[in-house]
Every structure is written in C-alpha cells, then in structure tokens.
Amino acid sequence: MDLGFKGKVALVTGAGSQIGFGKEIALLLVREGCDAVAVTDINIDDCNKTADEIKKLGKKSIAVKADITNPQDVDALVKKVIDEYKRIDILCNVAGGIASRVPYDKSKPEDWDKDVRLNLYSIMLMCQAVLPYMKEKKSGSIVNIGSGSTRMYAHGAGNTYAISKAGVDTFTKQLAFNEAKNGIRCNCVAPGPAPTNFIPGPDKQGMIDMLAKTIPMGRGATQADIANATAFFASDMSGYVTGQVLHVSGGSVLD
Amino acid sequence: MDLGFKGKTALVTGAGSQKGFGREIALLLAKEGCDAVAVTDIIDDVQKTADDIKKIGSKSIAVKADITKKAEVDEMVKKVLDEYGKIDILCNVAGAILHKDYVPLDEQKYETWAKQMDLNLFGTMHVTRAVLPQMRKLKNGAIVNIGSGSTHQYSFGVAVYAISKYAIDLFTRQLAYQEGKNGIRCNCIAPGPAPTNFGAVLREGMPPMPPEQAEKMRENMLAAFPLGRMGTPADIANITIIMASDVTNYITGQVIQVSGGNVME
C-alpha cells in the first residue's frame, strides 16, 4: 500500500532513544517515502544518531536539541525545521515518560507537575507551534503517542503518568474537532508495554515477557507495532479518521 | 508499506453491492496481493465482484448465501475451504438497516427487531463461528467486522439498527479477548455516513420533499461534519485491509470510528 508520503516533511519528537518508538517511527516514515524527517530530543547525541540513520536511507534529516516542556525551545525547534524544509506535513508527538514515580497518595503537586508538563503540556506546545504552518497548507496529520495505562489500572508509581496521558487522549479529540475544518487530522496511538527505556533496568524484554502472561495475545508490544499504526494514521490512507485513540496492546485494553 | 498479503486467502461477506464497502474491500485485498479473495452475498451481483477480482489477477469465487441461515453459511464456508484450503482473513461486511419507518424505538415491531439482529449480529456470528476452527488450526487469523458510527451518533429512526451494531462492537471485543491466545485478532471498523445503499434506504422512509429542500438538508448535514465530507468506500476499505494485515499484528479488540470526527468516543 502506497502511503503517499512522497514530498512530505515530518517532525518526530522523542526520537533520541535508540530503542524507543520515536526512532522507529522516524525510520519507518523515511522507508515509506517521506522526503525529510526532522527529529528532536533533549538528548542530542542520540538524536544525531537517528538523523544519521535517516540520511543513510537517502532522505533528508536534521536533529534539533530541544526541551519540549519549554515554550522557547519548542518555538526555536519548529522555526529551525520550517527554515530548513519550509513545511511540516506530519507531526508525531512521541516524547514522554514517567517523570515521577511517587505513589499518588504520597505525591505533591510538584510531582504531578512533572508528569503533566512532560507528557501533556509538551504535546500542547508542539501542536500550538506547528499548527499555523499546517493551517496555511489546509492539510496536516498529527499523531500523539498516548498510553494503555489510561485504561490499565496499577498500584503506586505511574498513576500521575496515566493521568497525564488521559489528558493527551482528550487533547487529541478536542484538537481533531477544532482543526478538521482546516484539513488537519489528529489521532492517538496508545501502546501497551514494550521493551523501551520506559521499562527500568537492564532486562527490559524479561520484564515485558513477565507481563505478557496477562495479555490476551501473549506478548508485549514491539517498536514496529507502534510505528506501523503511527505511520498509517500519519498517512492520507486514513484521511477520514480523526479524533481516535487506538490501543495497540494485544487486547489488554478493549474499551 | 507491504501488507504481507502474499499467500493469503480472504473471505468478504456483503460483497455484492456494486457501490458498497464489501466490494471495495475485496478489490483492495486483491490489489494489495492476496492470492485469493472469496466473496459472498445474497444477491447475484456478487459474481460481478468475483469477476473484477480475477481481472486484478487474484483468484476468486462468488458464493451466494443468506448469512442469517446457519446451514447456508456452513456450506458457503465449506466451499471456500474446499477451494483454497484456508481462510486467513475474514471481513464481515454484510449488514443493512432493515427498518425505514421513523417510529420510536418501542413502537418498532418485534419482527423488525428480530430481523435486524438476525442479519447484523447473528449473521456475523454465524460466519465467524464457521471460519474460526480452521483459523485456530493455523494459529493465525484476522477478522474485521464492520460496525457503525450510529452506535455513538444518536438520531431518530435508526435505534434498532444502532443497537444491533453496538452488539458487533462487543462481539468484536469478546472474540478478541477469547482468541488472542490462538493468534487470532478481531477488530471493528465503524463507518460514518457514506454514499452506499444505506442512505437510499433511509431516504425512502422520509416524507417526500422537493429536491431543493433535500439538497439544503444534505448541505446542512455535511456542514455539521467536522471534516466537512462524507466517507467513501475507499476510506473504509483502506483501514479495513490495514486491520486485516500483519502490520497491525498487535492490535486486537479495537473499534475504530472512520467518520471524519463525527464520533470520537
């Protein structure tokens, strides 16, 4: 299936981690034909590696260091990408993480703040900065990475993370509704557990395999699972799909 | 994106209507590389769909069947399995709105309720039940059901239909949960309004109105859609075959609304 990415420019946040969703998404967008994929991360050394791999595939890329919880950084990042490629057709908001592991009953507003800033405000800032350029073209596709944790209840650490990601779900829908008239779509891919840096410790796959016993499909998510769904939503092949939250979690989340 | 359809056999129900989702899905499965796409419907036109699939270069048979009749479904599925040896992909598209009298839910005749459930829910369940045993043997399979945006978009006159389609959502989830361990996935695509036969049935039930008024009504309706247009059979076919393919190998039990932002729950 031709995803129609020829001539398109994408921006992927959180593309530094070499075992993360962001890098996998960026590379898939390139393999499927995007002209240029700009990548950003707070960790610029790793992000440069991702950009180098994109260029090895024969496509254009720049890596930009940015702390996307900071409005100035976000504006500078988007300006740089626009200066370089003149447009952003696809925005994949991947950056995020568990910022506070303090259980909710012991946590303070400062702890909540960390999660909400990293996971929700960052995506809102990115969208605010990119939207004017999409509106100009009357076209654009935004894919946010949500989380299965919004529907999978767990004790202790990670509660505020889940709450911040539920905000991403609602932000996705509000944005989809508001921007549809401008030809801009916005959807959310909500991953189940995968062996990324999200899982602490060295034996990430081991942890996932343990969790897998409770997953109907009997395995954890892979980076490719998430990238495939994200690329499809980013493409015109899903031109009539907007405001949707798609759980990619092997049946762990069913409603 | 290679959808990995080489070597795969699909069965698409409701593939007779020449402007419906089923035909569009069947043809797209063939274009994207399925070895064989079997099609079924209660109407003769299903043969035309099979002929068009063969023109694309995939194998196809058309089997006429009334999916509300268990015996006919069993025979239809047996015929496909005899022909191709397996079914990797099942697209449950057959369905329709069977009531066009705009009366309140409680005034709808019992027979209408029963017929609507028979077609939209039990029909899908008959076909799925008949296909499952050999998918389990393969330890692999993808089922895509066609649901409806009407489950979340309230309007008078379509309640019984909407209820039957909501049951499809739940059937999708229950089946996904149950069959995950067997490598079988099940998802649901819920279309918004599209220019298929569906709209024509609804219009039949409406009081007659002058063409200008009908056009005005249509414009108002479209203006209220966030994306400002109706869906097309291609919109539905694209996402259906993605969900039928191995690139969505970890997605199961999901209901995806393809309605231009009309439904966001």
pLDDT digits (tens, 9 = 90+) for B65-93: 999 999 999 999 999 999 999 999 999 99
Give one DSSP letter per residue of A29-59, joined into a string. HHHTT-SEEEEEES-HHHHHHHHHHHHHTT-
Q: How far apart are CA A68 and CA A72, in angstroms?
A: 9
For chain A, which ranges sit under pLDDT 70? 156
- B176·A237 Cβ contact <8 A: no
Q: Which of chain A's residues have a Cβ under 8 Å away from the Cβ of B249?
A: 225
**CB-based contact, A1 to chain B, within 8 Å:** yes
Residue A104: predicted pLDDT = 79
**CB-based contact, B4 to chain A, within 8 Å:** no
Cβ-nearest to A242 among B1, B185, B261: B261
**CB-based contact, B242 to chain A, within 8 Å:** yes
Compute the nearest-CA separation of A3 from chain B (Å).
7
Helices (H), B180-248: 197-205, 211-224, 233-244
Compute the nearest-CA separation of A241 from chain B (Å).
5
Between CA A214 and CA A212, with CA A255 as vertex, the angle to 5 degrees is 15
Only one residue has tokens 């009504």, namely B217
Chain B residue closest to A227 (CA)? B247
Residue A135: predicted pLDDT = 98
Compute the nearest-CA separation of A67 from chain B (Å).
31
Q: Which of chain B's residues have a Cβ under 8 Å away from the Cβ of A253?
A: 253
**CB-based contact, A143 to chain B, within 8 Å:** no
Residue B151: predicted pLDDT = 94
Q: How far apart are CA B192 and CA B232, in angstroms?
A: 9
- B248·A218 Cβ contact <8 A: no
Which residues, in sequence order, are bridge partners of residue A248?
A191
In chain B, residues 116-175 whose CB comes closer than 8 Å to chain A: 173
Does the annotation mark B161 as catalytic? yes
Residue B99: predicted pLDDT = 85
How do residues A71-99 score in pLDDT, each as one tens digit? 999 999 999 999 999 999 999 999 999 99
Which residues, in sequence order, are bridge partners of residue A142?
A91, A186
Residue B78: predicted pLDDT = 98
**CB-based contact, B241 to chain A, within 8 Å:** yes
**Residue A223, both tokens:** 């980076």
Residue A20: predicted pLDDT = 97
- A254·B176 Cβ contact <8 A: yes
3 state SS of A92: strand
Instruction: Tell me which H or E stretch contains B39.
Output: strand B36-41
- B258·A241 Cβ contact <8 A: yes
Interface test with B, best of A1, A2, A226 (most B CBs within 10 A): A1
Q: How many CB pairs under 8 A join A and B?
A: 117
Q: How far apart are CA A146 and CA A243, in angstroms?
A: 13
Residue A136: predicted pLDDT = 97
- B256·A243 Cβ contact <8 A: no
Q: How far apart are CA B54 and CA B50, in angstroms?
A: 6
Distances (CA, A) of A212 to A193, A195, B190, B191: 9, 12, 29, 32
Only one residue has tokens 């919109």, namely B235
**Residue B17, both tokens:** 């209507």
Q: Which of chain B's residues have a Cβ under 8 Å away from the Cβ of A237?
A: 238-239, 242
User: Is A19 buried (19+), middle (13-18) or exposed (0-12) by CB count in 10 A?
Assistant: middle
Cβ-nearest to A255 among B173, B229, B263: B173
Which residues 6+ apart lie within 8 Å of B186 measured at CB? B142, B143, B144, B145, B172, B175, B176, B179, B252, B253
pLDDT (tens, 9 = 90+) of chain B, 265 residues, equals: 999 999 999 999 999 999 999 999 999 999 999 999 999 999 999 999 999 999 999 999 999 999 999 999 999 999 999 999 999 999 999 999 998 777 888 888 999 999 999 999 999 999 999 999 999 999 999 999 999 999 998 888 889 999 999 999 999 999 999 999 999 999 999 999 888 777 777 777 777 788 888 888 888 888 888 999 999 999 999 999 999 999 999 999 999 999 999 999 8
Residue A162: predicted pLDDT = 93
- A241·B180 Cβ contact <8 A: no
Nearest CA to B161 out of B131, B129, B191, B187 is that of B191
Q: With the CA atoms of A196, A201, A205 and A206 taken in that order, what torsion angle do they form, in degrees rounded to the nearest 10?
A: -160
Only one residue has tokens 């994929």, namely A37
Compute the nearest-CA separation of B62 from chain A (Å).
25
3 state SS of B146: strand
Q: Which of chain A's residues have a Cβ under 8 Å away from the Cβ of B32?
A: 1
Compute the nearest-CA separation of A145 from chain B (Å).
15
**CB-based contact, B180 to chain A, within 8 Å:** yes
Q: How far apart are CA B101 and CA B157, in angstroms?
A: 7
How do residues A107-152 score in pLDDT, each as one tens digit? 899 999 999 999 999 999 999 999 999 999 999 999 999 999 999 8
Name residue A160's amino acid.
T
Distances (CA, A) of A155 to A108, A149, A152: 17, 11, 10
Report yes or no: A239 and A216 within 8 Å, Cβ to Cβ. no
Chain B residue closest to A222 (CA)? B250
Q: What are phi and psi of A247, to 5 degrees?
A: -85, 120
- B261·A180 Cβ contact <8 A: yes
Report yes or no: A160 and A112 within 8 Å, Cβ to Cβ. yes
Q: How far apart are CA B85 and CA B97, in angstroms?
A: 34
In chain A, residues 204-223 whose CB comes closer than 8 Å to chain B: 215-219, 221-222
Taking the CA of residue A4 as centre, how many other CA atoms within 13 Å lie in the half-sphere pointing to its CB?
Answer: 13
Report yes or no: B184 and B137 within 8 Å, Cβ to Cβ. no
